[in-house]
Amino acid sequence: MPEKQYRFIISGGGTGGHIYPAVAIANEIKRLHPSAEILFVGAMGRMEMTRVPEAGYKIIGLWISGLQRRLTMDNLSFPLKVISSVRKSYKIIKDFKPDAVVGVGGYASGPLLYAATKLGIPSLIQEQNSHAGITNKLLANKVDKVCVAYDSMYKYFPSAKLVLTGNPVRRDITELEGKRTEAMQFFGLNPDRLTFLVIGGSLGARTLNQSTEQALQKIQAAGYNLIWQTGKLFFPTAEAAVKGYPADQIKASDFIKRMDLAYAAADVVVSRAGALSISELCLAKKPSILVPSPNVAEDHQTKNAMALVQKDAAVLVKDVEASERLWGTAFDLAKNPARQQTLRENIAQLGKPQAAEAIVQELLKLVK
């Protein structure tokens, strides 16, 4: 008997923290059911409209954005955008005829899941953070399942719908063993030096970038390598700043496509504390210094970070203290192999390598 050809819509995006879990879920569906048809729905003009096709999937854009905290033309057009996006979502669902839909958070997730639940299509939310996003909170009573990464999420969602799965990450990040030589060649770095990896999330992080720019001379003088992901906005500044430093020691780029090789090269990671970053660090088993962004709802990055710090699985540096403390803390950790090993062992206990598979199994249960 031939395998049923499943059809799924995955909606959401806005940042890498939403997009990469969505792609990881899609990849897991295709691994388990290669004939499955998958369609993404995102927000026009947002990052997912390029990143999803790069991952090999078709995406349709909705005319939708978030509400700004101040009065803008975008806010005035918000009701019109919602109506337009809901109507388009109904049409997409009726044309594509999905067996189930997945929402990963972000602007496009709301209209698509609203339309799907109204049409009686089985639906699932994947919430990455320790603090639930507004779209997911609004949809929680309408959807069938809510897959979460933290065990305190009953505060936000009906407990009968909750499944603790962890955050899905790309499979290549769980398979770093034996990749260090390839990673050093890929980045063109001297393999005999300890390597720092600085990642500020897909959109960059001003505090991390400015602190790193100020520390370049000390990093070079101390004989360390640096892989520095700056985000698009800061990249011209970083590119100018690293000129004159040895190319086999200091590397800056706006975006790193081969994150598996970046993690494989890294001995110590400096990162924001977005949910996806933390999930990746747990699976990569890297000693990490977390600098939570202060510019997020309910300060949820600090809550994400504290979940690790309380288990002695990461080091915390507050954003307001980063310019003074970040690189001193990083150098202290670099000089302390025993501390690195403790952090490595403790963070490894928190990884959930089967998260994508667990989410897909919940999805398949809804269809069956």
User: What DSSP line would sit under 14-73, residue for residue?
Assistant: SSHHHHHHHHHHHHHHHHH-TT-EEEEEEETTSTHHHHHHHTT-EEEEES--PPPSS--H
Is 258 flagged in the annotation as binding?
A: no
Distances in whole angstroms, Cα of residue 24 to Cα of each of 52, 136, 157, 288: 11, 19, 23, 23
Q: Which amino acid is it at 3? A: E
Task: Please answer whether residues 191 and 262 qualify as being in contact, where contact means their C-beta atoms are separated by less than 8 angstroms.
Answer: no
Q: For residues 234, 300, 173 and 55, what is the CA-based torsion angle, rounded to 10 degrees?
A: -70
CA 340, CA 334: separation in Å to the nearest integer? 8
Cβ of 50: how many Cβ atoms within 10 Å? 11
- Report d(CA 26, CA 42) in Å as an integer: 14
User: Is 15 known to sit in a ligand binding site?
Assistant: yes
The rounded distance, in Å, linking the Cα atoms of 146 and 143 is 8
Q: Is 170 annotated as a binding residue?
A: yes
If phi > 0 it is left, if psi is from -120 to 50 it is alpha, else beta; for residue 298 that is left
Q: Is 129 annotated as a binding residue?
A: yes
Q: Is 301 labelled as part of a ligand binding site? A: yes
Is residue 368 within 8 Å of 332, Cβ to Cβ?
no
Structure tokens at 151: 């065990």
Question: Is 295 flagged in the annotation as binding?
Answer: no
CA angle 266, 268, 273 (to 5 degrees): 105
225 annotated as belonging to a binding site for a ligand:
no
* In contact, 197 and 227? CB cutoff 8 Å: yes
Asked if residues 319 and 294 have their Cβ atoms less than 8 Å apart, the reply is yes
The total number of residues shown for the chain amounts to 368
Tell me the binding residues for UDP-N-acetyl-alpha-D-glucosamine: 15-17, 129, 170, 202, 256, 301
Binding-site annotation: residue ranges? 15-17, 129, 170, 202, 256, 301
